Amino acid sequence: MELVKITDKLLDDVVLIENESFKAPFKKENFEYELKENPFSKFYGVTEDNKLVGYIIFWITFNTSTLCKIAVQQSKRNRGFAGFLMKNMEKMLLENEVESMTLEVRKSNENAINLYKKFGFKEITIKPKYYDDGEDAIYMGKLYL
């Protein structure tokens, strides 16, 4: 397992994983925005045998942060890739003296909720009908102080 910085040439692989992972996937342009224009965005991937199998996007805005996205190729799930991405992200949060992270997750997304709980995130509140299809989000957070 190796951590890599996402670059232009990895974006097509990102989009393939994205499309099999989300009901309302980001388009390539959305990823290009995160890569080139959003000054707060950090975008990393995990590879196995030099092939991209997952990625994470998070935003550091001074002392706070937001987890934007994490996804792992369907056939590679349950093998620790997301945990590896989360661990590396948290290392960067500490290096940047970030004090907190928040995220939204679909109420039905048990795998992701378990992942976040494993990393110490706690439910803050429910955001009713947060998603376009009407599903509620669980708003979760973690303090690094």
Ligand X SMILES: CC(C)(COP(=O)(O)OP(=O)(O)OC[C@H]1O[C@@H](n2cnc3c(N)ncnc32)[C@H](O)[C@@H]1OP(=O)(O)O)[C@@H](O)C(=O)NCCC(=O)NCCS
Neighbours of 126 (CB within 10 A): 12
Residue nearer to ligand X on the CB measure, 35 or 70: 70
Task: By CB under 6 A, tell whether 25 contacts ligand X.
Answer: no
Beta carbons of 69 and 104 less than 8 angstroms apart:
no
Neighbours of 140 (CB within 10 A): 22
Catalytic residues: 104, 116
Task: By CB under 6 A, tell whether 129 contacts ligand X.
Answer: no
Binding string to ligand X for residues 27 to 66, with x set by CB under 6 A, is what?
----------------------------------------
Region of residue 49 (phi > 0: left; psi between -120 and 50: alpha; otherwise: beta) = left
Among positions 25, 77, 96, 99, the unique one binding ligand X when judged by CB under 6 A: 77
Pairing assessment for the beta strands 51-61 and 41-48 based on DSSP bridges: antiparallel
What does the binding site for ligand X look like in residue numbers (CB under 6 A)? 21, 69-72, 77-83, 105, 109, 111-112, 114-115, 118
